[in-house]
Amino acid sequence: MSKKELRFPKRPFRTSGGAKVPHRKNTSDKQSVIMPSPEEVIIPMSQHIGAPCKVQVSVGEQVYVGTVVGDSDAFVCAPIHSSVSGVVKSITKITMPSGAQVDAVVIESDGKDTTDPAIKPPVVENLQDFLKAVRASGLVGLGGAGFPAHVKLNVPADKEIDTLIINCAECEPYITADNREVIENSWAVISGVYTVSELLGIERVIIGIENNKPEAIKILTEIADNPKYDPEDKVRVLPLKASYPQGAEKVLIKACTGREVPTGKLPADAGCIVMNVTSVAFLSDYLKTGMPLTKKRLTVDGSAIKEPQNVIVPIGTPISKVMEFCGGYKEEVKKLLMGGPMMGISLSDDSLPVLKQNNAILAFSEKEARLYEPTDCIRCGRCVSACPMRLMPTRLCSDVKLLDFDAMQKHQIMTCMECGSCAFSCPAHRHIVQTIRLGKSKLKAELMKQKGDK
């Protein structure tokens, strides 16, 4: 392949659509607080996309911080570790926010937080060692999707990756966890960036960050632009326009490189790997200490929260305990979200535990919890101009209403990533995303059925 020199873009490439969502980053200047271990943690066996883990411990067994409690032979799967030291109290089933029933290990903490004696820094000499270490660390995409990191980093041999994009856009309102990670742990971010890019042989790293985080941009630029730390000038920070959904993988790739991931393909097909900034920082820490993913920084905010802040909590802590630690509720909670207000999942109660890929818990009072009643579509076209995937939500909604599977496919319903820009902008408050989501699952079922018939 004739190699053209890769250049860094001076300004982001143009992306289409987007919505002007409010920022409400109330916690961006507040130092994160470390929450002590709760008396009990609940660790579900499915905290990633892929096969759920099998329980590896039995009731009554002594576990430590970092002990493997769940694992599986499946490739698309990441092991799950205990976040406290103590005794396995029970193994039960819990209902996840998605509605699925999964096994969960309940561990009673002894309050000592003893580290598992078996934990030691992994020896990494080549890419294979590295991928094994990434799997053992239990890392999943911390931006919210929860895709096992070792699967993403294991690039097929026929794909050429020339750019590593670090996702620090954090475009959802309220959430500031990645921002705080950069500010409080900036050296880990940069050393993680180097480790990953060197092991994968990537010569260009772009840190994409929305321009509403001036402090984080300043810190990262100072390190990345200093020839002492970045002698080959392979890492650069690219401030992006603060516009939702700048942090969506495909949109971010477009903004940073001008490339479009082809329909139904992966970022690797556009020569890119995208990693969340907290994931990279965690990897760097893991390679130093060998401590797997057992803690997570969460933004706790929303109109019903007394003291909005970022807290670092052991994974598996029940949400109610996190809320107690944050001073409890200010008003009666009417809506509880896991994740941001645009793409987060609304929970039915606060007994669920914190998962690996959580980055925010938001609690809202009645005023924000109630959604408007939908009225008739006036065909204003705001959804069409808001769609970052250049879809026509108006047309997709009528396809779904008619259950016209051919039209749904023709109009690329599967390209929809459910970012919510359309529904946010809709003056008739129509349930656009909900309708498209329904259409997507009906289409999937229909395609499965057709496959089965043949």
- Distance separating alpha carbons of residues 106 and 68, to the nearest angstrom: 13
* DSSP tally for the chain: helices H, then strands E: 14, 17
> Min. distance of Cβ 335 from other proteins in angstroms?
5
User: If we measure between CA atoms, which residue out of 292, 251, 246, 297 comes closest to residue 272?
Assistant: 251
How many Å apart are CA 224 and CA 236, to the nearest integer? 6
Cα dist. 249→54, 162, 337, 338 in Å?
30, 16, 22, 20
Whose Cβ is closer to other proteins: residue 230's or residue 260's?
Answer: 260
Residue 344 contacts other proteins per CB under 8 A: yes
155 touches other proteins (CB under 8 A):
no
For other proteins, the closer CB: 123 or 157: 157
Amino acid at 432: I
x/- letters, 252..291, toward other proteins (CB under 8 A)? --x--xxxxxxxxx---xxx--------------------
Write the binding mask 373 to 412 for other proteins: x where contact by CB under 8 A, - elsewhere: --xxxxxxxx-xx--xxxxx-xx---------------xx
Shortest gap between Cβ of 280 and other proteins (angstroms)?
24
Kindly tell me which residue out of 41, 183, 337, 352 binds other proteins, with binding defined by CB under 8 A.
337
Provide the mask over 78-97, with x wherever binding to other proteins is found by CB under 8 A and - wherever it is not. Answer: --------------------
- For residue 303, give both structure tokens: 């109109």
Q: Of residues 335, 356, 397, 408, which one binds other proteins by CB under 8 A? A: 335
**For residue 33, with 0-12 CB atoms within 10 Å meaning exposed, 13-18 middle and 19 or more buried, which class applies?**
middle
Cβ burial, residue 228 (10 Å; 0-12/13-18/19+) = exposed
Of 290 and 393, nearer to other proteins (C-beta) is: 393
If one asks whether residue 364 binds other proteins (CB under 8 A), the answer comes out as yes
Q: By rule CB under 8 A, what string of x and - marks binding of each residue 33-72 to other proteins? A: ----------------------------------------
DSSP 360-379: EEEEE-HHHHPPPPP-----
Cβ distance to other proteins smaller for residue 53 or 333: 333
Q: Hey, is 3 helix, strand or coil?
A: coil
Residue of the chain from 11, 402, 427, 441 that contacts other proteins (CB under 8 A): 427
Regarding 214 and contact with other proteins (CB under 8 A), the answer is no
Nearest to 345 by CA among 413, 433, 275, 282: 433
Q: Which element (helix H / strand E) includes 89?
A: strand 86-95
Phi-psi category of residue 285: left, alpha or beta, with phi > 0 → left and psi -120 to 50 → alpha = alpha
Name which of 250 and 295 has its Cβ closer to other proteins: 250
Q: Interface with other proteins includes 327 (CB under 8 A)?
A: no
Rank residues 379 and 444 by Cβ distance to other proteins and give the closer one. 379
CB atoms within 10 A of CB 415: 14
| Minimal distance, residue 405 CB to other proteins, in Å | 17
- Binding piece for other proteins, criterion CB under 8 A, among 71-79, 137-145, 189-197, 249-257: 249-257
